[in-house]
Amino acid sequence: MQTPHNLSLREAFWVWVKVAAYSFGGPAGQIAVMHKLLVEEKKWVSENRFLHALNYTMLLPGPEAQQLATYLGWLLHKTRGGLIAGGLFILPGFVSILALSVLYAGFQDLTWVQALFYGLKPAVLAVVIEAVIRIGRRALKNNVMIALAALSFIAIFFFQVPFPIIVLAAGLIGYIGGKVALDYFDVIRQRETGKEDDSDYLITDSVAQAQRPSLSYALRVAVIGLILWSIPLIVSALTYGTDHVFYQEGVFFSQTAVVTFGGAYAVLAFIAQQAVEVYGWLAPGEMLDGLGMAETTPGPLVQVVQFVGFMGAYRNAAPFSPMTAGVIGSIITTWVTFVPCFIWIFLGAPFIEFWRNNKSLTTALSGITAAVVGVILNLAVWFALQTLFGTVTETHIGPLRLLIPDFSTLDIAALAIAIGASIALFKLKWSMLQVLAAAALAGMAYYMLVVV
């Protein structure tokens, strides 16, 4: 399939490696990394196309940042590009959590890992803040869009309105608004006719897609995807039976893969409860240890399921050794969690691109774009509270949810690193690699000399 540019897959490969290596800080940080590298630095994808892809991935179950990488990789180099971008995004987290799971099961001492990543989280906070400012400045072109973003933030942060409801409501508002007040809701057209020039980008609104959607294509993707998704289930059922831990993990995490709307936290409580109380894969409290691994390693936060899969198989190892069973369980869990993510993109992206210039879809997505800015701001505030304070109390007053930090638990060192990273990023114009490397070294030195 011909691509509408001369960017080589080899060159893109190494940039996707960099995206994967920098993918700390949950979806807000990961989206910020891709925006900085692909939109601002490389100018491979215009702002409009980036937000169009982000809007679609926000509607899907699963980790939106990984699916955004897959979508953008597909946009640049079709199926091969999507597989490379999405696969590389998963790989560092998979290797890191697999290694940490082995250490945890064998030694249960992760001090050196905590030291390594101590400085990275506050540095990623600076990257997230930059992304919120940049994306908000470009997406919120009028007071209506600003109001939608504000309402989205209030709904999800203070009232915990489910993410799919926010997105659907924003899309409906955008669709109806486009019928009655087009100038306020056709934000993409406003960006095109404004001062911003996207002629330097490889993929812009004027670049047509190279792959037209069709029913035969959709059926082919669906059939191949479902076969690949079910391979671990079929093999484990035929080899070890449906009562074996490999089959049980495959089925359970296949189910959770299709209900993780709105990020990993929406389903982690359910996973923890089932893993502890129903299946006995984890001991009480171990889910928090696994979550700590996922929080401080690159890749999607939902990668924590890999730790659950490892420990479940480690404790139900027959006929393998515990470590071997743990590794196999880890692979099966990762496979059934992420294969669906590729299916959603390869199945839906051609249709989403084909309908990109449809006016009703455009205004609906303009509403979703504004809501997404509010959601990213919500993630940024939540991430800041968790990074800078040791204790954050959740208080409810009727339907209102308040997150109140205990200021006596403020981590001064983390705050200092966050401020330093912000200065380096905003004022000194350091590269992201320089900022993250400096923050990691400073955090490691502080943690090993003062905390431990």
Task: Determine the Cα angle at 96 with ends 88 and 248, to 5°.
Answer: 90
Q: What is the mean pLDDT of residues 130-149?
A: 85
Q: What is the mean pLDDT of residues 23-43?
A: 86
Whether the predicted pLDDT of 34 surpasses 50: yes
The pLDDT assigned to 105 comes to 87
- In this prediction the pTM is 0.74
Would you place residue 421 in the very low, low, confident or very high pLDDT band (cuts 50, 70, 90)?
Answer: very high
Would you place residue 269 in the very low, low, confident or very high pLDDT band (cuts 50, 70, 90)?
Answer: low
Whether the predicted pLDDT of 352 surpasses 90: no
Quick: pLDDT tens for 319-342: 999 999 999 999 999 999 999 999
Nearest to 95 by CA among 17, 15, 13: 17
By mean pLDDT, which of 3-7, 159-163, 263-267 is the weakest?
A: 263-267
Q: What is the mean pLDDT of residues 178-192?
A: 75
Sign of CA dihedral 305, 306, 312, 313: positive
Sign of CA dihedral 289, 290, 291, 293: positive
Quick: pLDDT tens for 187-231: 755 555 444 556 677 877 655 555 677 889 999 999 999 999 999
Q: What is the mean pLDDT of residues 10-21?
A: 94
Q: What is the mean pLDDT of residues 31-47?
A: 91
CB 253 within 8 A of CB 230: no
Q: What is the mean pLDDT of residues 81-94?
A: 96
Q: What is the mean pLDDT of residues 156-180?
A: 89
Would you place residue 24 in the very low, low, confident or very high pLDDT band (cuts 50, 70, 90)?
Answer: confident
Q: Who contacts 204 (Cβ-Cβ below 8 Å, separation ≥6)? A: 46, 48, 49, 198
Rounded to whole angstroms, how far apart are CA atoms 70 and 258? Answer: 17
Would you place residue 91 in the very low, low, confident or very high pLDDT band (cuts 50, 70, 90)?
Answer: very high
The pLDDT assigned to 3 comes to 59
The residue with tokens 């803040």 is 129
The pLDDT assigned to 262 comes to 52
Q: How many CB atoms lie within 10 A of CB 437?
A: 15
The pLDDT assigned to 195 comes to 47
Q: How many CB atoms lie within 10 A of CB 259?
A: 11
